[in-house]
Amino acid sequence: MTIDYADLDFQSVKNTNIGKGFELLKSNALKNAILTLEDGTREYSTSYEAFEYLGIAYLIAGFFNRAIGALQKACEIKPASATAHYNLAVAFENARVYNDALTHYTQAVELNPTHTLAQDKIIEIAQIIPETKKGRIKLLKGQGE
Protein backbone atom coordinates (compact mmCIF):
# COMPACT_ATOMS: atom_id res chain seq x y z
CA MET A 1 0.00 0.00 0.00
CA THR A 2 1.52 3.29 -1.12
CA ILE A 3 0.39 6.46 0.66
CA ASP A 4 0.73 9.96 -0.77
CA TYR A 5 2.02 12.75 1.52
CA ALA A 6 2.60 15.29 -1.29
CA ASP A 7 0.49 18.26 -0.22
CA LEU A 8 0.54 17.85 3.54
CA ASP A 9 1.98 20.86 5.36
CA PHE A 10 3.72 19.46 8.44
CA GLN A 11 5.25 22.82 9.40
CA SER A 12 1.85 24.35 10.01
CA VAL A 13 0.88 21.66 12.53
CA LYS A 14 4.18 20.51 14.05
CA ASN A 15 3.54 22.06 17.50
CA THR A 16 0.01 20.65 17.81
CA ASN A 17 -1.47 17.24 18.56
CA ILE A 18 -1.61 16.79 14.80
CA GLY A 19 2.15 17.17 14.53
CA LYS A 20 2.75 15.01 17.61
CA GLY A 21 0.46 12.36 16.14
CA PHE A 22 2.34 12.42 12.85
CA GLU A 23 5.66 12.02 14.68
CA LEU A 24 4.19 9.02 16.53
CA LEU A 25 2.94 7.65 13.21
CA LYS A 26 6.42 7.96 11.68
CA SER A 27 7.89 6.06 14.64
CA ASN A 28 5.30 3.28 14.17
CA ALA A 29 3.55 3.94 17.49
CA LEU A 30 0.17 3.48 15.78
CA LYS A 31 -2.07 3.22 18.84
CA ASN A 32 -0.68 6.41 20.38
CA ALA A 33 -0.62 8.13 16.98
CA ILE A 34 -4.30 7.38 16.44
CA LEU A 35 -5.28 8.59 19.92
CA THR A 36 -3.27 11.79 19.52
CA LEU A 37 -4.58 12.44 16.00
CA GLU A 38 -8.16 11.83 17.14
CA ASP A 39 -7.56 14.53 19.76
CA GLY A 40 -6.13 16.71 17.00
CA THR A 41 -9.28 16.38 14.89
CA ARG A 42 -11.39 17.45 17.86
CA GLU A 43 -9.15 20.46 18.51
CA TYR A 44 -8.80 21.42 14.84
CA SER A 45 -12.05 20.24 13.27
CA THR A 46 -11.42 22.18 10.06
CA SER A 47 -7.80 21.09 9.60
CA TYR A 48 -7.15 19.16 6.41
CA GLU A 49 -3.88 17.81 7.85
CA ALA A 50 -5.64 16.53 10.99
CA PHE A 51 -8.04 14.34 9.03
CA GLU A 52 -5.50 13.34 6.39
CA TYR A 53 -2.93 12.16 8.98
CA LEU A 54 -5.65 10.39 11.00
CA GLY A 55 -6.89 8.66 7.86
CA ILE A 56 -3.35 7.58 7.02
CA ALA A 57 -2.87 6.23 10.55
CA TYR A 58 -6.11 4.26 10.28
CA LEU A 59 -5.00 2.95 6.87
CA ILE A 60 -1.67 1.74 8.21
CA ALA A 61 -3.41 0.13 11.20
CA GLY A 62 -5.82 -1.67 8.87
CA PHE A 63 -8.95 0.20 10.04
CA PHE A 64 -10.19 0.83 6.52
CA ASN A 65 -13.73 1.98 7.33
CA ARG A 66 -12.39 4.50 9.85
CA ALA A 67 -9.81 5.59 7.28
CA ILE A 68 -12.58 6.16 4.75
CA GLY A 69 -14.46 8.39 7.20
CA ALA A 70 -11.42 10.50 8.09
CA LEU A 71 -10.25 10.79 4.49
CA GLN A 72 -13.72 11.74 3.25
CA LYS A 73 -13.62 14.59 5.77
CA ALA A 74 -10.18 15.60 4.43
CA CYS A 75 -11.67 15.65 0.90
CA GLU A 76 -14.56 17.82 2.12
CA ILE A 77 -12.16 20.29 3.72
CA LYS A 78 -9.80 20.40 0.72
CA PRO A 79 -11.70 19.08 -2.32
CA ALA A 80 -8.99 20.15 -4.79
CA SER A 81 -6.39 17.90 -3.13
CA ALA A 82 -5.21 15.07 -5.36
CA THR A 83 -3.43 13.65 -2.31
CA ALA A 84 -6.67 13.45 -0.32
CA HIS A 85 -8.54 11.74 -3.15
CA TYR A 86 -5.67 9.33 -3.77
CA ASN A 87 -5.44 8.28 -0.11
CA LEU A 88 -9.22 7.94 0.09
CA ALA A 89 -9.05 5.70 -2.98
CA VAL A 90 -6.40 3.58 -1.25
CA ALA A 91 -8.74 3.16 1.73
CA PHE A 92 -11.66 2.18 -0.53
CA GLU A 93 -9.43 -0.26 -2.43
CA ASN A 94 -8.27 -1.91 0.79
CA ALA A 95 -11.90 -2.15 1.92
CA ARG A 96 -12.59 -3.79 -1.48
CA VAL A 97 -15.00 -1.05 -2.53
CA TYR A 98 -13.51 -0.89 -6.00
CA ASN A 99 -16.00 1.43 -7.72
CA ASP A 100 -15.42 4.14 -5.11
CA ALA A 101 -11.67 3.52 -5.25
CA LEU A 102 -11.76 4.00 -9.01
CA THR A 103 -13.80 7.21 -8.64
CA HIS A 104 -11.26 8.77 -6.27
CA TYR A 105 -8.19 7.58 -8.18
CA THR A 106 -9.78 9.22 -11.23
CA GLN A 107 -10.41 12.44 -9.28
CA ALA A 108 -6.77 12.44 -8.16
CA VAL A 109 -5.66 12.26 -11.81
CA GLU A 110 -8.14 14.94 -12.87
CA LEU A 111 -6.74 17.24 -10.16
CA ASN A 112 -3.13 16.31 -10.91
CA PRO A 113 -2.64 14.78 -14.38
CA THR A 114 0.94 13.79 -13.47
CA HIS A 115 -0.14 11.70 -10.45
CA THR A 116 1.45 8.46 -11.66
CA LEU A 117 0.48 6.46 -8.56
CA ALA A 118 -3.20 7.15 -9.25
CA GLN A 119 -2.78 6.52 -12.99
CA ASP A 120 -1.27 3.10 -12.28
CA LYS A 121 -4.05 2.28 -9.82
CA ILE A 122 -6.76 3.18 -12.33
CA ILE A 123 -5.36 0.63 -14.74
CA GLU A 124 -4.99 -1.95 -11.96
CA ILE A 125 -8.55 -1.44 -10.67
CA ALA A 126 -9.87 -1.51 -14.23
CA GLN A 127 -8.63 -5.09 -14.43
CA ILE A 128 -10.79 -5.94 -11.40
CA ILE A 129 -13.84 -4.12 -12.79
CA PRO A 130 -13.57 -4.85 -16.54
CA GLU A 131 -16.70 -2.93 -17.59
CA THR A 132 -15.03 0.33 -16.56
CA LYS A 133 -11.68 -0.40 -18.17
CA LYS A 134 -12.26 1.25 -21.53
CA GLY A 135 -13.54 4.59 -20.20
CA ARG A 136 -10.92 5.02 -17.49
CA ILE A 137 -8.00 4.19 -19.73
CA LYS A 138 -9.30 6.66 -22.35
CA LEU A 139 -9.34 9.30 -19.60
CA LEU A 140 -5.70 8.56 -18.82
CA LYS A 141 -4.76 9.00 -22.46
CA GLY A 142 -6.55 12.36 -22.51
CA GLN A 143 -9.31 11.19 -24.82
CA GLY A 144 -12.15 11.65 -22.32
CA GLU A 145 -15.61 10.23 -22.73
User: Of the residues 29, 62, 78, which one is the last residue of a structural domain?
Assistant: 78
Give yes or no: residues 74 and 104 share one domain: no
Name 32's Cβ contacts closer than 8 Å, sequence gap at least 6.
Answer: 24
Give yes or no: residues 14 and 70 share one domain: yes
Alpha-carbon distance of 118 to 87, in angstroms, equals 9
Average pLDDT, the chain: 84
**pLDDT tens digits in sequence order for the chain, 145 residues long:** 666 555 555 566 666 778 888 888 888 888 999 999 999 899 889 988 889 989 999 999 999 999 999 999 999 999 999 999 999 999 999 999 999 999 999 999 999 999 999 999 998 888 887 655 445 444 454 434 3
Secondary structure string (H, E, C) spanning 41-94: HHHCCCCHHHHHHHHHHHHHHCCHHHHHHHHHHHHHHCCCCHHHHHHHHHHHHH
Q: What is the CATH number of the domain that holds 120?
A: 1.25.40.10
Domain boundaries, position 25 = 8-78
Give yes or no: residues 15 and 35 share one domain: yes
Give yes or no: residues 61 and 115 share one domain: no
The model's pLDDT over 81-121, given as tens digits with 9 standing for 90+, comes to: 999 999 999 999 999 999 999 999 999 999 999 999 999 99
Does residue 110 lie within any of the structural domains?
A: yes
